[in-house]
Amino acid sequence: MKAAPSPDEIRRRNLAVLLRHVHVSGPLSRAELAERMGLNRSTILALTTDLAAAGLVREELPGQTGKAGRPSLVVRPESDRVYVLALDVGADRLAVARVGLGGAIIDRCEMPRDTGAFDPEEVIAELARMTESMMDAAHKGSVCVGVGLAFCGMVRERDGVVRYGPNIGWVDVPVGALLSERLGVPVAVGNNANLGAIAERERGVGAGVRDLIYLHGEVGIGGGVIMGGELLGGEGGYGGEVGHMIVNPGGRACRCGSRGCLEAEAGELALIAAAGRSDLTGRAAVAAIVDAAARGDADARDALHQVGDWLGYGVANLVNVFNPTMVVFGGVLREIYLAAAAQVRSRLAVDGLLAVRERVRLRTSALADDAPLVGAAELAFAELLTDPLQTLARAQNS
């Protein structure tokens, strides 16, 4: 048996757990915290006092409850004072948000861009400009405790190197290091769909679900897989790249060099091509096609039917292989799924194994396009939620 943890380690861990509870669930009474954590109230009081002294939480009266009697105080995260910066490099936009402890977006700024290759230096410069102006706007006395970046491609998380971003034309770009150097603070980088999966599980439609697959449609289709409550990483952390599961051998050429990948057959570009709407691009094109189909346009309906069928093959495969509780459609796949749900479901009914398809729920993202951004904020908060006092002290001194 390993040596028991020291009192200091136990305290640090309990501070972290308490802070995570109020970060994820919002204001909680000391009694609720005591029950959730299996600790007595005097220990909760001591922990709360420490976190309040540091400026991470405060205790206050809850909103009117309508109940008689003296209301008990609730412990609330210092959402205005303690924040992170969440960045999202998508295939068709850059976004930066300031997100308070507790998870609410305080402030955001977004820059659409044309899809296609994008010079890393330009991206870094643009993100740094957006980030710095947002930090300048933050009120004095507030403190930034982390920076997280969601990227639309394969990321080596341990050092923030983009291994492969086909929709933006990057190979082996150390975006984490480049941005850290520019901003003067560490930047954690994750795959956008992985972070979207975490966001939907923590703050979206998948709350409490232990086995969830999140599919994020942008230009391509990214996937984030949470199994048994843990993000599926695989050997190098690239697990969950379901967009490059081949559903149609010899089918449409994919940017990865292969053919018939799920993203080539069921992504935005496939829909635009099938509908013959190359006059439009991106989200606007998807919206226009969905709209036309709703008005009865036969080409648009056929296109959605076709894309929905391939999406259904992909979903059936994922359901058979993973036996998830829930599949969540995010980004533009949200709109595509809503317009082609019958097709997806009928494909699943034919090709899904009974024991797994009978229980799975198909849902649309609650956070829509912001799922990766919200997940990037969670990534940025990770250090604070592991060691609250040290992380805060380091942030205040930097």
**Which stretches of the chain bind a second copy, using CB under 8 A?**
1-4, 10, 13-14, 37-39, 43, 154, 156, 163-164, 210-211, 223, 225, 227-228, 230, 232-242, 244-249, 256-258, 313, 316-318, 320-325, 350-351, 353-356, 359-360
Measured from the CB atom, is 4 or 298 closer to a second copy? 4
The whole-angstrom separation of Cα 299 and Cα 351 is: 26
Measured from the CB atom, is 128 or 246 closer to a second copy? 246
Measured from the CB atom, is 1 or 68 closer to a second copy? 1
The whole-angstrom separation of Cα 359 and Cα 64 is: 40
The whole-angstrom separation of Cα 63 and Cα 114 is: 45
Least distance CB 282 / a second copy (angstroms):
24
Is 206 in a helix, a strand, or coil? coil
Least distance CB 370 / a second copy (angstroms):
25
Least distance CB 41 / a second copy (angstroms):
14
The DSSP result for 242-303, as a single string, is: GGGSBSSTT-SB-TTS-BSBHHHHHSHHHHHHHHT-TTS-HHHHHHHHHHHHHTT-HHHHHH
Measured from the CB atom, is 236 or 276 closer to a second copy? 236
The whole-angstrom separation of Cα 212 and Cα 87 is: 24
214: nearest Cα among 304, 328, 360: 328
Tracing tokens 């861990």 back to the chain, one arrives at 13
Measured from the CB atom, is 161 or 183 closer to a second copy? 161
Which residues contact residue 33 at a Cβ distance below 8 angstroms, ignoring those fewer than 6 apart?
Answer: 18, 21, 22, 39, 44, 48, 75
What angle is formed at CA 171 by the lines to CA 315 and CA 372, rounded to 5 degrees? 45
Least distance CB 26 / a second copy (angstroms):
23
Measured from the CB atom, is 78 or 309 closer to a second copy? 309
Measured from the CB atom, is 2 or 67 closer to a second copy? 2
182: nearest Cα among 107, 117, 140, 123: 123
Least distance CB 173 / a second copy (angstroms):
13
Least distance CB 187 / a second copy (angstroms):
20
Measured from the CB atom, is 351 or 387 closer to a second copy? 351
- Classify strands 28-29 and 74-77 as parallel, antiparallel or unpaired: antiparallel
- Classify strands 154-156 and 143-151 as parallel, antiparallel or unpaired: unpaired
Least distance CB 241 / a second copy (angstroms):
5
Least distance CB 317 / a second copy (angstroms):
5
Two structure tokens written together for 107: 């402030």
